[in-house]
Amino acid sequence: MTIGYLGPAGTFTERAFKKFCSLNKLPEEGVQASSIWDLFELFNQKKCDIIIVPIENSIEGSVSTTMDLISSTESIYIQQEIVLPIKHCLFGKKKMALSEIESVVSHPQALSQCQHYLRQNLSKAQAIPATSTAHAAELLDENESIIGSKELGSLYNLELLAEGINDQKNNQTRFVAIGRTSTEPTGNDKTSIIISSIKDKPGGLVDMLTAFAKRNINLTRIESRPTRNVLGEYLFYIDCEGHEKDPLVMEALTEIKKEASYFKKLGSYKKDTTHA
């Protein structure tokens, strides 16, 4: 089995990859890609059987690139979720005062998750986005700093300047393992779908969501994304508790499919409770 994840070494996605391997008793042998786009390209070319991608952060919300590529990619199934606590640290190539730092480099999500700290402590430093925290570490200059995990600092022999700088201490990122086959019920599952209501039908979305409510099925996430076809048209990404093979979930999905102008089932998969 070939598993793809965002590299190079030291990214949070690599941590998610290692956790996935540990949970499934797999060897930590994977293929690194430099972007989410590249991961999906490897998947589409069948150079990877599974890819690990970030899909949602507790502070910044959904990862739009992942959501859009999930929508446009055929024959995919979410097979598992992996949730990681995210603790950001500030590093430099040398010990220095915060006032000496001219720029802060990191992935855009990391910069956003630490923006209050940056405004308070590094307001004069330029924020520079990078494709990954690990890639930024490889290119770090003398008076630059970087935001990343504690493992990143050890890997690249960086000096720790500040620890736990994320604005919200209960910061978590949800990753998903995407493959080509569905998974069997475990008794502790989620199901994900993408739908769109019929155009110009008042209350269309509410009617579809009622299929869950009247069966007492809990929704854990609902979010809209533009279809990118026409302004004002949206796709709705929905996660619900339960497996698609559970009788009530199956009934709800069948009812929704009849009402939706677009319906895509992303699969059912085991919830990650190991972070709680």
Under the banding of pLDDT at 50, 70 and 90, the label for residue 174 is very high
pLDDT at 215: 97
Neighbour count for residue 108 (Cβ, 10 Å)? 13
CATH number of 189-270: 3.30.70.260
Query: Residue 8: what residue type?
Result: P
Lowest mean pLDDT among 142-146, 202-206, 237-241: 202-206
The rounded distance, in Å, linking the Cα atoms of 270 and 276 is 15
Residues of the chain with CATH 3.40.190.10: 3-85+171-179, 89-163
158 contacts: CB under 8 Å, gap ≥ 6? 91, 92, 93, 137, 140, 146, 152
Give the Cα separation of 243 and 269 in Å (integer): 7
pLDDT over 90 at 114, yes or no: yes
Q: Per the confidence metrics, is the pTM higher than 0.85?
A: yes
> For position 276, what pLDDT does the model report?
46
**Can you tell me which residue has the tokens 């009247």?**
214
pLDDT of residue 176 exceeding 80:
yes
Give the residue among 142, 17, 133, 37 at the shortest CA–CA distance from 82: 17
Which pLDDT tens digit goes with each residue over 2-36?
A: 999 988 788 888 999 999 999 999 998 899 998 89
pLDDT digits 0-9 by tens, 34-50: 889 999 999 999 999 99
Q: Where does CATH 3.30.70.260 sit in the chain?
A: 189-270
Q: How far apart are CA 238 and CA 264, in angstroms?
A: 10
| pLDDT on residue 244 | 97
pLDDT, position 200: 60
CATH 3.40.190.10 applies to domain 89-163: yes
Torsional class of 164: left (φ above 0), alpha (ψ -120 to 50), beta (otherwise): left
Pick the CATH number of 3-85+171-179 from 1.10.760.10, 3.30.56.10, 3.90.480.10, 3.40.190.10: 3.40.190.10
